[in-house]
A = this chain, B = another copy of it.
Amino acid sequence: LPRRAGGALPEDHVAAAQRRAPGVPVIVPPPPPPPAAAEPERLDGWGFRGMGFELLPSGSVILRGARYSGSEVELPGLLPWVRQALAIEIDPRDIHPSSYPPTVPEPRLPPALMEELATALPAGALTTDPEQRLRHGHGHTLEEIYAIRYDGSRISRIPDLVVYPDSPEQIAALVAIGTRHDACLVPYGGGTNVTDALRCPAEEDRPIVAVNLSRLNRIRWIDPVNRMACIEAGAVGRHLQAQLAEYGFTLGHEPDSVEFSTLGGWIATFASGMKKNRYGNIEDLVLDLEAVTALGRLSHHGTFPRESAGLDLRRWLFGSEGSLGIITSAVVKLFPLPEVQRYDALLFRDFESGIAFLHDLSRETSPPASVRLVDNLQFQLSQTLRPPAQGAALLKRRLERWVVTNLKGFAPDRMAACTLVYEGTAQDVRAQERAVRALARRHGGLRAGADNGRRGYQLTFGIAYLRDFVMRHWILGESFETAVPWSQVSTLCERVKDRLHAECARRGIAGRPFVTARVTQLYQTGACVYFYFAFYHKGLPDPVGTFLELERAARDEILLAGGSLSHHHGVGKLRRDFLPRVFSPAALAWSEAFKQAADPGNRFGIGNLSVAGPPGRPAEEPAPR
């Protein structure tokens, strides 16, 4: 699809910026370059086309594509380690072949609706292409990716049409047309959610129009004096980072999905970035926003550091997951690019010592921008993903291992690793490093070096491709997360692991499930814990059904152990059945009443957050035990 031509920013946006801060020399960046043809995204799974893990006949694994460090290098250790960790004989030649693309339902589009839409939108801004429609109807839950690759029968409903509006005015026109023709509208940002948020309600009989926001991707203005920028909701994280950096600024928001996810999506899901210790979560970064809703266009006259004015557009839209309207732009805080960025890594005797270190770090110091602690299993996995060393580097690595295990007595099957990213002025970073190292010593931590820190941090982007890779080899995997008070961090991790092991054993699942935890975000009262879970499913009669049972069991255990429904992934449709366990009936009634008031026609009928669910679905589902 063609993208909108560049051109001057509508004058009213500049006027709006000037009204906010008269006399300030506002920067109006040029429109971002069209997405490089060299960076197409794949449609049948996560990430960039041409990137991904591959199992060679030799048994070595290789990360294809030149984007990430450590790619195109044979990793001989991964497969043996997976075999051992999962206690399964994985045969490189035994592949579960993908049948992507599945057959998808025909679009149901009344001609009158199409006619109006074609008039309201520029040429080339509508498509009924089946692959595009399919892509706009799912995120990245295990069930969704399994469905598009292996089991098209799980796809009963996808958007009937995808549209690419250029402007908030066109979105307002879409809502008006949707109202006249009783169609549903579903905003689409990066499509990276893992909550079934984009999955269309099977019972939805009305036409479903996916509203792709990729053409609303401009930085409207940068106010360098007050350090704010107005950015359109479809701006993608990696582009935004690059464009702001040209002016010496950063937003500092780096969720694991930052390569693909968008500003609007971050707001709609309460996103959290890996560097939130320094820059804050999305609710700390967004000062103001605009949206198109069933009641009209929400906007605010100015942008202020803080306000007590009852109404707060942000509060209504944060975490709304597409169910209340379409966010079109936001004013965000900016930070100067850090003078210094440094990585480090620490090893701890065990996960518990690492947690104790994080606890003290969150209270006694201002923690570095990013601090993440992985448990032993994840540490072992990261070691197998390390390109093999040779010559002097190999000797050095062996020596280090000897020091850690023999001299310091760390057990290879117990130790945990922590990666750190420092950002700030040289002076601040020096002071933070001093404080961190002193604290690490108190907890028996060993420094493992900047290289390991950098690798550990950047591994996130590579690891995201692992799930799709192992799926080819009959392994189902997923990540999930929670927030939990400090006192519960360690027990929650243990309980979730134990529960999943027990549930898998009870179901006779072959081998051993893979369950691993890391602590990724620190707060004064607690932390975010992030899990990976995988198991070998070949031979199971209903692998996805089994997976869903197990995932529910894990969430059940999280809630029992004092964890939250989610830290930053959200609810979507995946976890809405749990809402009655977490909120009082009156709170649920408020939520429903609010939705009803703000979207009386259920125009934004994607069904996320809704306990009752879409029409046709029983309002009272049995609550999990």
Contacts and interface: CB of A to CB of B under 8 A. Distances in A.
Contact of A590 (B298, B567, B571): B298
Interface stretch (A396-404, A502-510, A577-585): A577-585
Contact of A523 (B20, B306, B561, B583): B306
A21 interface: yes
Interface stretch (A315-323, A381-389, A441-449, A543-551): A315-323
A303 B485 contact: yes
A305 B523 contact: yes
Given A281-B306, A566-B309, A589-B295, A559 B23 contact: no
A527 interface: yes
Contacts of A526: 226, 304-305
Contacts of A608: 310
Contacts of A593: 295, 597-598
Given A302-B562, A567-B306, A569-B308, A590 B486 contact: no
A290 to B, nearest CB: 9
A596 interface: yes
B483 A306 contact: yes
A163 interface: no
A304 B590 contact: no
A586 B21 contact: no
Contact of A301 (B488, B582, B585): B582
B587 A307 contact: no
A485 B587 contact: no
A339 to B, nearest CB: 11
A470 interface: no
A583 to B, nearest CB: 5
Contacts of A561: 22
A412 to B, nearest CB: 31
A315 B320 CA distance: 12
A169 B223 CA distance: 50
Interface residues of A, number: 96
A293 interface: yes
B287 A483 contact: no
Contacts of A311: 579, 583, 587-588, 590-591, 609
A310 to B, nearest CB: 4
A527 B305 contact: yes
A225 interface: yes
A308 B269 contact: yes
A527 B226 CA distance: 11
Q: Taking each of A22, A320, A521, which has the highest tally of chain B beta carbons within 10 Å of its own beta carbon?
A: A22
A500 interface: no
Interface string A87-129: 0000000000000000000000000000000000000000000
B21 A487 contact: yes
Contact of A525 (B226, B321, B521): B226
A589 to B, nearest CB: 5
A329 to B, nearest CB: 13
A582 B321 CA distance: 26
Contacts of A571: 308-310
A303 B281 CA distance: 18
Contacts of A293: 586, 590
Contacts of A591: 310-311
A465 interface: no
Interface in A273-308: 281, 287, 293, 295-308
Contacts of A19: 562
Interface string A498-531: 0000000000000000000000010111111000
8 contacts: A223-B485, A226-B485, A227-B525, A308-B567, A309-B565, A312-B318, A335-B524, A594-B598
